[in-house]
Structure 1
Amino acid sequence: MSLKTRLSASPLSFDRDAIAEIFAQLALSAAVAVMRVYDTDSHARSKPDKSPVCDADEYAEAIILEGLATQLPQLPVLAEEAAAHGHKPPCGGSFILVDPVDGTREFLSHNGEFTINIGLILGGVPCAGVVYAPAIDRLWMAGAKAYSCNVKPGMPLPPLEERTPIHVRQPPREGWTALASRSHADAETDAFLAGLPINERRCAGSSLKFCAVAEGGADVYPRFGNTMEWDTAAGDAILRAAGGIVLDAAGLPLRYGKAKEQFKNGPFIAWGDPAIATTPKLSPKTLASLSKASRN
């Protein structure tokens, strides 16, 4: 069956695996521009919200948006840099989220922990996604199932038989592994993890944390600071397809398309094994302040 046949005119009946393949090839193409900037002056500057942006963000986003307009014109696209300039198309429950360089701070520090993220939202749920880490030639993708593979920027996506299926793990009896943000450590994360049987805690940048949990390298990733939907959608899709779950502060699966909140996420916990998933054990006062901060 051709790719064109697999893509229905109705977004809710799209072939998620076919969408993931489109996302993967676009990420690989955008990565060429990203890595070209990585080795030169990236012209870093601050956006109005004080977050960093550089040439790589803008070059990659332009490549991805052009490809999506050609291959998936049926779906609106919410992309980080376009949104920063006020372009937020009506999305409804079905749309695409793009973060052209997730982990710009890591990109600028040259530690390699940055990714290109593209996620599909259907009915408010992340249903397909790609996370590509071009500095380490590693790509994670998911539609109905989740896979990883090694591939260099600009190269064709490896065929299915050369991709490795990934799945979350049951937490080890000797203790769990927790992941935390490298650039956004906070007391709330420390307080939450203190109540769990954590044996090892590691820090990482960008959506690599979702992918580590998805492929069974860690058990939990809490995030209480501000994030946007484009930061999490692709990694969330991969984790869910690998058998995990991402819960919000109310203990419900994280939802997307929160236009009234300007597409901001509140606190969330990414879990490998849903059987151990709990809501954040924080005081109502702390949760209220975190929720208020996410709306501002």
Structure 2
Amino acid sequence: MDHSQLVTVMRRLALEAGDKIMEIYQADDFEIKSKSDDSPVTAADEAADAIISAGLRAAFPDVTLVTEEQAASHSQRAETFLIVDPLDGTKEFIHRRGDFTVNIAYVENGVPQRGVVYAPAKGRMFFTLADGRAVEETGPLDKDSIGDTAPLSVSQADNSALLVVASKSHRDQATDDYIGKYAVKDMKSAGSSLKFCLVATGEADIYPRVGRT
């Protein structure tokens, strides 16, 4: 795999999908449907999936593609594949809370190698450079070129004053009980894979999750 091409394509498709998601997000109304597991899905999920899937299949036709919105892809078996969640945090999208992300990753021999997490409503782009470094893009998000970036670096946690990020949509008593075991300085709520990114940037020390994600 040409990692330079891979990163360029994944980043561009995430931005293109993000534009479409925001177009629907800013509309007066949008249709909400239910999937077979009763989780919600919107036109934004489907439109973003169409953009990303078409782009990945065109660029990497020989690589298996697994995407959340295409159930038929879930039964595929491969050690090397591309995996997509075109709109993670659909509930955040529906309630217009902004904490939703576009997620694209490349897994090689069972190990995640490169990935993109884009939060279009927040204007935040996290991804892996071709050389394997994880960064956040800090400059203008141009589809054709990567701007300035800053390396991701977790915090040096102070166990007497922890910074916690917890789920907005899946907060429960078990989570609160877990958090209560620690000395917490500040706690924020966030949705989708954005929570992991806040830990990766050092904006939070821990993300407690005691149930299924």
CA contact (8 A) 2:13 2:55 kept: yes
**Offset at 1:177?**
0.9
- Residue aligning to 1:36: 23
CA contact (8 A) 2:138 2:150 kept: no
Structure whose residues are more often helix by fraction: 1
Measured in 2, the distance between the counterparts of 1:173 and 1:189 equals: 18
Task: Decide which of 156, 166, 176 is 1:190's aligned counterpart.
Answer: 176
What RMSD over aligned residues (CA atoms) do the two structures have, in Å? 2.0
Task: Decide which of 156, 159, 164 is 1:170's aligned counterpart.
Answer: 156
> Which SS does the other structure have where 1:177 is aligned?
strand
Task: Decide which of 104, 113, 129 is 2:90's aligned counterpart.
Answer: 104
2:91 matched to 1:115? Answer: no
> Any stretches of 5+ residues in structure 2 without a counterpart?
none
> Which SS does the other structure have where 1:81 is aligned?
coil
**Offset at 1:51?**
0.7
Task: Decide which of 21, 42, 55 is 1:54's aligned counterpart.
Answer: 42
- Residue aligning to 1:242: none
> Which SS does the other structure have where 1:191 is aligned?
helix
Residues 124 and 187 from structure 1, CA distance in 2 versus in 1: closer, same or farther, beyond 3 angstroms?
A: farther
**Number of residues paired by the alignment?**
210
**Offset at 1:186?**
1.9
**Counterpart of 1:121 in structure 2: which amino acid?**
V
Q: C-alpha deviations, 1:97-135, integer Å up to 9, x for none? A: 111111111111111111111111223222211111111
Q: C-alpha deviations, 1:4-33, integer Å up to 9, x for none? A: xx62xxxxxxx3x54233211110111121
In the superposition, the TM-score normalised over structure 2's length comes to: 0.90
2:205 matched to 1:219? Answer: yes
In the superposition, the TM-score normalised over structure 1's length comes to: 0.66
CA contact (8 A) 2:65 2:73 kept: no
CA contact (8 A) 2:13 2:51 kept: yes
Alignment of 1:217-296 (within 5 A): 217-227=203-213
Measured in 2, the distance between the counterparts of 1:166 and 1:157 equals: 22
Q: C-alpha deviations, 1:113-169, integer Å up to 9, x for none? A: 11111111223222211111111221110241111124677x425435x11112112
Residues 46 and 25 from structure 1, CA distance in 2 versus in 1: closer, same or farther, beyond 3 angstroms?
A: same
**Offset at 1:174?**
4.2
- Residue aligning to 1:241: none
- Residue aligning to 2:58: 70
- Residue aligning to 2:13: 26
Percent identity, aligned pairs only, is 38
> Which SS does the other structure have where 1:98 is aligned?
strand
**Counterpart of 1:216 in structure 2: which amino acid?**
G
